[in-house]
Amino acid sequence: MSIKKSLKVLLAGTSALASSMSFAAEEVNVYSYRQPFLIEPMMKEFTAETGVKVNILFAKKGLIERIKREGKLSTADLMLTSDFSRLTMFTEEGLAQPVDSDILNKNIPSQFHGAEKQWYALTSRARNIYSSVERVGPAPTITYQDLATPAFKGKVCMRSGKHPYNVSLLASIIAHEGEAKAKTWLEGLKANLARKPQGNDRAQVKAVKEGLCDYALTNSYYLGKMLNDPKQVAWAESVHINFPNQATTGTHVNVSGIALTKYAPNKNNAIKLMEFLSGDVAQQMYAEINYEYPVKEDVQPSKLVASWGKFKADDIKLSDIAAQHQAAIKLLDEVKFDL
Amino acid sequence: MISKSFNLYKLLPWVVTCILLSPVLAIFLSAFSVDESGSFQHLIDTVLSTYISNSLLVIVYVVLLSILFALPCAWFVACCEFPTREKLQWMLMLPLAMPPYIIAIVYTDLLDFAGPVQLTIRALFDWQPSDYYFPEVRTLFGASIILALSLFPYLYLLLRGAFLTQSAGLFQAARTLGVTPLRAFWRVSIPLSRSAMAVGISLIAMETLGDFATVNYFAVHTLTTAIYDTWLELGSLTTAAKISSLMLLAIVILISLESYSRRKQQVYQRNGSGNTELRFVLTGWQKWGVLAFTWSLLAFSLFIPITTLLYYAINYFNASLNNDLMQYTLNSLWLAFLVAILSILVALLVNFYQRLSPGLGAKSSIRLSSLGYAVPGTVVAIGVLIPLTSIDLWLNDLLLGLDLKPVGLLLSGSLVILVLGYLVRFSAIAVGSIDSNLVQVSPSLDLASRTLGNGPVKTLWRVNIPLIRKGMLTAFILVFIESMKELPAALLLRPFNFETLATYVYQFVSDEMIELAALPALMIIGLGLVPFIVVNRLLEKKT
């Protein structure tokens, strides 16, 4: 047997082995920047309804790079993110493909998808300022800009400026007011911090409860999550939730979202899952279990979230904020925000 | 015939070295592509100097603290006699099984402003936050302590081994000359343990430099922060690769300097029986001092974190029990086992290559095969992805060209990539611990065996390997435990539907949900401890 021939046999064998390993069942593969336990209930419901198995691979960093390297061989069908900067990064890298579906068009309002429908938002959440019940009381007129004024010195707690939620907030301020003003704001905010940025959003509320600071910059849904945790309910009860900038630009809103990958091998199932996640059942679950705001207009937020009242959201285009993402990261370095 | 087999000796270590080096090389090469984003300049203008000094400070603190913890412990246990010594000598290794990201979450939970310790202080004395001083946990020094608490056993292990195997004659001579314990320590033990010290320190320094999870959790920003920021946020792999390459360069220089300074020093062990008869018997305040030091070190590195985790695991038992936990455990176990075995093979190969044909070539193959250890896990992960996805893409094109069914991501979509990633990171540990063992085996033994007509392979098999059995077992345990704990590469490289205990823990740790992380974290620790104890018992019986 010639070398060439035996090589061919070997390759054929490899090929047969690989195809025998591949799966018979219907499935869809999701790369997720969101923790599995947050999305599992919806995925289980989807599998129960359709029989399609959902495989989730979670990581906080590097999934976009992985999919980029895997190229046309990637087995990932969907990219699920917890903020839109990753969604836009994903589409800008040319890793997504547009989805035109009547169901998605009907369920998701146009401000919640990419210009060419390469991504769709599934939920939205506000970036709130929580204030101490004991030392401040409700602060309905508070603004993000207030946090940088001398009156707030030593009273503010927040997580790392580099966290996507904070980067997006800063990017929105750059988009509204320009880089120079945003820098002054960021410097003022840094000067007012009660401690170096650290911990997650819940940890900031905990610090308010313990009297370390009076204000915490935190996403909306954490209050719901904490109220449902016997260990954390006391933290949650020590704060008021305020929606900043009601008289001005409106409260900054971020989204979690989903995009179909360019080479999705299970494209039909992937679109089915996207449609399911935008539908009544899943949107209701996002609202009730995770306390996020549903993007589907006729699905109501949970009772608890509704009790916080309606608010004016910043209506700037998400793509305008995303355009300032890199500028925001660089600004954070310039003022050494986390250091 | 002879020359042919000789070539194989030379070729194989280099093939292995090249495979292990390819990810690092891939990163290194990316550093030289043109960077249009200007993000490297941006870093230099803003935060890079802070990141560099933070990285250096963390390394210096962790190394100093590790010496402070490990050196006395190793010496007390090896050269002194006091109650509980036999228990301590293996228990002091156990903190290795503690993942630093778990110790970190435990201590921030305990010592945080709103944690139980400070709450108790405030309640006890009726103090307000401003009434008392309490050291911040989330500082550079705090992170260094946590890293040192979980890394010092490396040094302890190597030093204890060195102290035990040091020529009994020298120690006896010192005792006969009537030196005090302290003097024997400085004049005999320390100089003879230099090789172990050097290996231990460089392992710890590399592990510290590559750490992201712990420093990030403590809000300390180091060069790894810069890598992640530039690469994942600013989208510049080039800049990230530049920083990684600088880190690598620093490590290479450090290691070369160290081995250069040691080039004339040859210390061989002639008698492996150790100096058990000659231990200093400690009494009075010396005894109590040693007991207090060793046991409180264990309390902080082992008992307190485990107790805290147990508390949460029990209180949240039902919430954290998961049907798949058994599967994750099995995954972690066999993966760690496989990687440990493979890395021992790698280590034997490159170490014996050096022994058989010493010289610059062999030395470089040892150094090069260990480089991956200093690279942060996520960077290794991408480094491994680059060559393997290229091979996969090429293979698929080839199959399509031959009208065969394409195989998809045969290497990069399977566990092959994960195993390779682990090997790139952890072979250094096996190479180091076998190296430090092998250099103590006198070459005259090899010569004797060769004179008696044994070939090089037979000599290795019959003479050397039995003598470095301990080193091999140590290498096995260390790599096994590192693989059990490994997080960043596993997160990024694992295929669909494959979770290890560490990746499972991470989804809770990443949200600071210690209560749900506790049970699986305890399983990582527990499974790391078991082989430790078993192998250690075996070792103790044989000596």
- Expressed as residue numbers, the domain containing A99 is 26-123+254-299
Q: Is B319 on the interface with A (CB under 8 A)?
A: no
Question: Could you report the per-residue pLDDT of A60-98, keeping only the tens digit for each?
Answer: 888 898 898 889 999 999 999 998 888 988 999 999 999
Q: Are residues A214 and A317 in the same domain?
A: yes
Alpha-carbon gap, residue B119 to B125, rounded angstroms: 10
- The dihedral formed by the CA atoms of B536, B540, B542 and B543, expressed in degrees to the nearest 10: 130
Two tokens at B445?
Answer: 């033994």
Q: Are residues A261 and A276 in the same domain?
A: yes
Alpha-carbon gap, residue A69 to B390, rounded angstroms: 8
Q: Is B211 on the interface with A (CB under 8 A)?
A: no
pLDDT value at residue B169 = 66
Nearest CB among B43, B393, B496 relative to A29 is that of B496
Report chain A residues whose CB lies below 8 A from the CB of B27.
none
Domain-embedded: residue A305: no
Alpha-carbon gap, residue B68 to B60, rounded angstroms: 12
Report chain B residues whose CB lies below 8 A from the CB of A61.
228, 232, 378, 488, 491-492
Among B105, B107, B214, which Cα is nearest to B516's?
A: B105
Minimum CA–CA partner of A265 in chain B: B408
CB A213 within 8 A of CB A157: yes
| Across B514-524, average pLDDT | 90
Alpha-carbon gap, residue A247 to A270, rounded angstroms: 41
**Single-letter residue type at B540:** E
pLDDT value at residue A2 = 55
Among A319, A337, A304, A268, which Cα is nearest to A101's?
A: A268
Residue A158 has pLDDT above 80, yes or no: yes
Percent above pLDDT 70 for chain A: 93
Q: Which range among A166-170, A191-195, B76-80 shows the weakest confidence by mean pLDDT?
A: B76-80
Read off the CATH number of the domain in which A64 is found. 3.40.190.10
Alpha-carbon gap, residue B524 to B521, rounded angstroms: 5
Domain-embedded: residue A3: no
pLDDT value at residue B9 = 67
Chain A interface mutation, best of B42, B58, B405, highest count of A Cβ atoms under 10 Å: B405
Two tokens at B291?
Answer: 């007991």
Q: Are residues A183 and A324 in the same domain?
A: yes
CB A183 within 8 A of CB A113: no
**Total structural domains within chain A:** 2
Confidence of residue B233 (pLDDT cuts 50, 70, 90): confident
pLDDT value at residue B3 = 46
| Across A122-136, average pLDDT | 96
Minimum CA–CA partner of A9 in chain B: B404
Q: Are residues A285 and A217 in the same domain?
A: no
Residue B266 has pLDDT above 70, yes or no: no
Percent above pLDDT 70 for chain B: 92
Residue with token string 């959440």: A125
Residue B531 has pLDDT above 90, yes or no: no
| Across A296-313, average pLDDT | 94
Q: Name which residue leads in pLDDT, A244 or B425.
A: A244
Give B 39-58 residues with CB within 8 A of chain A: 42-43, 46-47, 50
Confidence of residue B340 (pLDDT cuts 50, 70, 90): very high
Domain-embedded: residue A8: no
Cβ distance A62 to B232 less than 8 Å, yes or no, reads yes
Q: Are residues A138 and A243 in the same domain?
A: yes
Sign of CA dihedral B486, B492, B495, B501: positive
Alpha-carbon gap, residue B181 to A34, rounded angstroms: 58
| Across B532-543, average pLDDT | 69
DSSP B464: I
Cβ distance B233 to A162 less than 8 Å, yes or no, reads yes
Query: Which residues does A214 contact at the CB level (< 8 Å), separation at least 6?
Result: A131, A132, A135, A136, A155, A156, A208
| Across B230-245, average pLDDT | 80
Residue A3 has pLDDT above 70, yes or no: no
Q: Are residues A277 and A228 in the same domain?
A: no
Cβ distance A160 to B113 less than 8 Å, yes or no, reads no
CB B199 within 8 A of CB B439: no
Domain-embedded: residue A20: no
Residue A22 has pLDDT above 70, yes or no: no
In this structure, the strands spanning A78-81 and A253-260 are antiparallel
pLDDT value at residue B250 = 78
Give B 481-510 residues with CB within 8 A of chain A: 488, 491-497, 503, 507-508, 510
Q: Are residues A173 and A234 in the same domain?
A: yes
pLDDT value at residue B300 = 95
Minimum CA–CA partner of B215 in chain A: A198
In this structure, the strands spanning A120-132 and A215-219 are antiparallel
Give B 131-170 residues with CB within 8 A of chain A: 136, 138
pLDDT value at residue B263 = 63
User: Average pLDDT over chain A, rounded to whole?
Assistant: 90
Domain-embedded: residue A19: no
Residue B397 has pLDDT above 80, yes or no: yes
Residue B315 has pLDDT above 80, yes or no: yes
Two tokens at B217?
Answer: 């959790």
pLDDT value at residue A247 = 95
Q: Are residues A42 and A140 in the same domain?
A: no
Domain-embedded: residue A16: no
Domain-embedded: residue A17: no
Report chain B residues whose CB lies below 8 A from the CB of A200.
511-512
Two tokens at A114?
Answer: 């990419």
Residue B27 has pLDDT above 50, yes or no: yes
Nearest CA-CA distance, residue A292 and chain B, Å: 17
pLDDT value at residue B321 = 78
pLDDT value at residue B115 = 81
Chain A interface mutation, best of B214, B496, B514, highest count of A Cβ atoms under 10 Å: B496
Alpha-carbon gap, residue B342 to B476, rounded angstroms: 9
Q: Name which residue leads in pLDDT, B12 or A329.
A: A329
Chain B interface mutation, best of A65, A202, A261, highest count of B Cβ atoms under 10 Å: A65
Q: Are residues A181 and A65 in the same domain?
A: no
For A152-174, letters b (16+ CB in 10 Å) and e give beebbbbbbbbbbbbbbbbbbbb
Alpha-carbon gap, residue B153 to B204, rounded angstroms: 10
Q: How far is CA B164 from CA A311, B176, B262, B296, B501, in A?
A: 71, 18, 21, 24, 36
Alpha-carbon gap, residue A53 to A43, rounded angstroms: 8
Residue A176 has pLDDT above 80, yes or no: yes
Cβ distance B46 to A330 less than 8 Å, yes or no, reads yes
pLDDT value at residue B379 = 78
pLDDT value at residue B539 = 66
User: Average pLDDT over chain B, rounded to whole?
Assistant: 83
Q: Are residues A138 and A231 in the same domain?
A: yes
pLDDT value at residue B542 = 55
Confidence of residue B237 (pLDDT cuts 50, 70, 90): confident
Nearest CA-CA distance, residue B270 and chain A, Å: 51
Nearest CB among A15, A74, A333 relative to B407 is that of A15
Nearest CB among A14, A162, A207 relative to B229 is that of A162
- Domains (ranges, CATH) in chain B? 48-262+280-315 (1.10.3720.10), 322-543 (1.10.3720.10)
CB B375 within 8 A of CB B227: no
ipTM for the predicted complex: 0.81
Confidence of residue A19 (pLDDT cuts 50, 70, 90): very low
Q: Are residues A275 and A154 in the same domain?
A: no
Annotate B26-64 with three-state secondary structure: HHHHHCCCCCCCCHHHHHHHCCHHHHHHHHHHHHHHHHH
Confidence of residue B445 (pLDDT cuts 50, 70, 90): confident
Q: Are residues A154 and A246 in the same domain?
A: yes
Cβ distance A336 to B396 less than 8 Å, yes or no, reads no
Q: Is B400 on the interface with A (CB under 8 A)?
A: no
Cβ distance A60 to B510 less than 8 Å, yes or no, reads yes
Nearest CA-CA distance, residue A329 and chain B, Å: 7
Alpha-carbon gap, residue B224 to A147, rounded angstroms: 30
Q: Is B116 on the interface with A (CB under 8 A)?
A: no
Domain-embedded: residue A306: no
Minimum CA–CA partner of B389 in chain A: A70
Residue A311 has pLDDT above 90, yes or no: yes
Minimum CA–CA partner of A335 in chain B: B46
Cβ distance A18 to B511 less than 8 Å, yes or no, reads no
CB A30 within 8 A of CB A78: yes
pLDDT value at residue B2 = 44
| Across B365-376, average pLDDT | 74
Nearest CB among A73, A199, A231 relative to B408 is that of A73
Report chain B residues whose CB lies below 8 A from the CB of A162.
229, 233
Alpha-carbon gap, residue A78 to B475, rounded angstroms: 41
Give B 326-385 residues with CB within 8 A of chain A: 378, 381-382, 385
Q: Name which residue leads in pLDDT, A273 or A14.
A: A273
Q: Name which residue leads in pLDDT, B112 or A185.
A: A185
Residue A24 has pLDDT above 50, yes or no: no
Residue A122 has pLDDT above 70, yes or no: yes
* CB hemisphere CA count around B498 (13 angstroms): 18
| Across A159-188, average pLDDT | 95
Cβ distance A89 to B235 less than 8 Å, yes or no, reads yes
Two tokens at A281?
Answer: 């059942």
| Across B78-85, average pLDDT | 88
Cβ distance A63 to B492 less than 8 Å, yes or no, reads yes
Q: Name which residue leads in pLDDT, B38 or B423.
A: B423
